[in-house]
Amino acid sequence: MKISTLSIGDEVIFGEIVDTNVAHISSRLYEQGFQLHRHLCVGDNEPDIMDAIETLAAHNDFVIATGGLGPTADDLTARAAARATDRRLVLNEDALAHLRERYRIMGRELLPSTEKQALLPAKSTLVPNPIGTACGFIIPHKGCFLFFLPGVPGEMKRMLEETVIPFILARAKRTNHIETRVMRVLGLSESHIEERIKELARPREGLTIAYCVSYPEVEVKLRGEGDDESRIRELLDATADKVRERLGDHVVAEGGETIDTVVAALFRKKGITLSLAESCTGGLIAAKITDLAGSSAYFREGAVTYSNDAKIRLLQVPSDLLEKEGAVSSATAMAMARGIRKASGSDIALAVTGIAGPEGGTEDKPVGTVFIALAGRSECTAKKYQFNGSRERVRRMTAFTALDWLRRHLMAQPDVKVED
């Protein structure tokens, strides 16, 4: 059984947006036990859309197309689909009723030109859109079911879950169970990780290992496939244990977790409060901390102190220390951490200072030099790093490394005691 996808839109062809739809569809299909066979992408050109539909329909059992169902003149998918499948384009009364109701809810006037979204190929099955204006539709054609969905990711995802996947599951027989375990690794290169765990793969038994760099992390993907679900799950469990053993505390998160969510859970579990002083990252660490709901329970405050004056005024960093050691130094990083911890009253404080580039480096302190410090109530430690790459990569690596400092520190602390 073969399933392929088709993305439609000039904005995708021209690289104006990143096509996240195909990645989501592929991932969800894989979770259901199906592998994507092929993907095509075409612009808002009717002959190209028709050719793609005809090509995919001839070689697949199901095709999921996204994009081109809007109200403007460049939205050509419905007309192209009708022509490619030898159907007339007709006013679909159910789609029109849905369109009118959505505009009523939004409090907007439905213009005659907007009714174009209700013009669909004759004898097609409507795919309801619970959160948008454009309904999708299904056309059987030459032994293939063609699904046409809006390109808006939120709308596409709802329609995929509520209509498309159930439709496919009702008609397609899955012969294999497929399961994937994702482990996020920080501090080891892709090649070093592979060298440590590559022999754990068991292709003949249905277990493979894949690697995906999501800088600065590497995602290790354990994939199991076979007709015996319990055996595949046992094989994945055993292999995951061995990966943890070989990679140690470089495994920072698993499954749907990220280093951000892991750190957040640890702060809640340990009952410890945090404050931050950032220089080269410009608040990036604080943003990652506060992106998660509930962070106010443990995050007190953060200070972005780029200038020496700010470090002196807000963090009480001694001016003579800055003059002697420089803003980018171990001593300054520790003074920043102590300063923000004292000012905020937090249990611990983390500080970063460095040279993100592309300018500002010296022979002694080249671009990518970063110091991270962590201050507690009784001690303060700091470490120097030398990161490589662009300004964005240096800042991102600094933020992830700082989060890893917090993760490792928190794991070593006792859990908060809850009174009975």
pTM assigned to the model: 0.81
In terms of domains, do 27 and 102 share one? yes
Q: Is 418 a domain residue?
A: no
Q: Is 420 a domain residue?
A: no
Q: Is 381 a domain residue?
A: yes
Q: Is 416 a domain residue?
A: no
Identify residue 319 by its one-letter amino acid code.
S
Among 177, 183, 181, 178, smallest CA distance to 236 is for 181
Backbone angles phi, psi at 63, to 5 degrees: -130, 130
In terms of domains, do 225 and 128 share one? no
In terms of domains, do 162 and 307 share one? no
In terms of domains, do 28 and 111 share one? yes
Give the residues across from 352 on adjacent strands: 278, 372
Query: Residue 336 maps to which CATH number?
Result: 3.90.950.20
In terms of domains, do 321 and 185 share one? no
In terms of domains, do 205 and 77 share one? no
Residue 21 DSSP code: H
pLDDT of residue 289: 98
pLDDT tens figures, 18-41: 999 999 999 999 888 888 999 999
Helical axes 46-59 vs 77-84, angle rounded to 10°:
50
Domain's final residue, options 234, 254, 274: 254
pLDDT of residue 3: 97
> Containing H/E element for 371?
strand 369-375
CA–CA dist 347, 276 (Å, integer): 11
- Structure tokens, 334: 């520790």
pLDDT tens figures, 297-318: 999 999 999 999 999 999 999 9
In terms of domains, do 263 and 381 share one? yes
- Please state, as a whole number, how many other Cβ atoms lie within 10 Å of the Cβ of residue 412: 8
Identify residue 317 by its one-letter amino acid code.
V
Residue 147 DSSP code: E
In terms of domains, do 186 and 102 share one? no
Low-confidence ranges of the chain (pLDDT < 70): 175, 418-420
In terms of domains, do 163 and 50 share one? yes
pLDDT of residue 59: 96
pLDDT of residue 197: 98
pLDDT of residue 1: 86
pLDDT of residue 419: 59
Look up the domain containing 203 and give its range. 177-254
